[in-house]
Structure formats: C-alpha cells, structure tokens
Amino acid sequence: MVTFAAEEPDAVEDWIPALVEHLDHPTPVVRRNVCKALGHLEVTIVVNQLSLVADSDPDDGVQETASWAVGQLRTDPATARCSSFCPCRS
C-alpha cells in the first residue's frame, strides 16, 4: 500500500475520508489498522485526529498505534512529505 501511495498519490487521496471515518469504528482492531494505514501513508493532514485518538480512545492498543502514527507524521518539516490533498498545496 505504501509503495502504491508513493507511485499514485492521487489514487490514495480518495481513501483518506473513508479511513478517517473509521477512526471511531466500534471495533478496536479496525481503529488500530486505520491508524497504521494513516501513519504509513504519511497523511499529515490527519495528525490532529490521530492525536485525539491517542489521547482518548478507550483501547490501549489503539492509543499506542495512534501515538506511533502521530510520531510518523511529526517529522522534520524540511523532510516531511505532504500529501497531494493537503491544504498547503492549494
């Protein structure tokens, strides 16, 4: 998925709203996988949503995965890749 995202960033753009919508899915494993996907895809625009999940999700595993994803996204601004749909590209 990450390789595909790097090669086809416009195709991945359509996935983001669906992924974010599932951050509050009732099943913890779904929420964890969404956090992993967003972290691997380097979707910087969702760092605030992931931070909220890291702070407030009732499942410790989801909190840990969300924290990991936030760490992936909060890199040095000079080297961070911004997704094609990010507002800074407008």
pTM: 0.74
Contact 74, 39 (CB under 8 A): no
Q: Is the pLDDT of residue 8 over 90?
A: no
Query: pLDDT tens across 24-76, in order?
Result: 999 999 999 999 999 988 778 899 999 999 999 999 999 999 999 999 888 64
Cα–Cα distance between 47 and 38 in angstroms, integer? Answer: 9
Question: Would you list the DSSP string of 21-43?
Answer: HGGG-SSHHHHHHHHHHHHHTT-
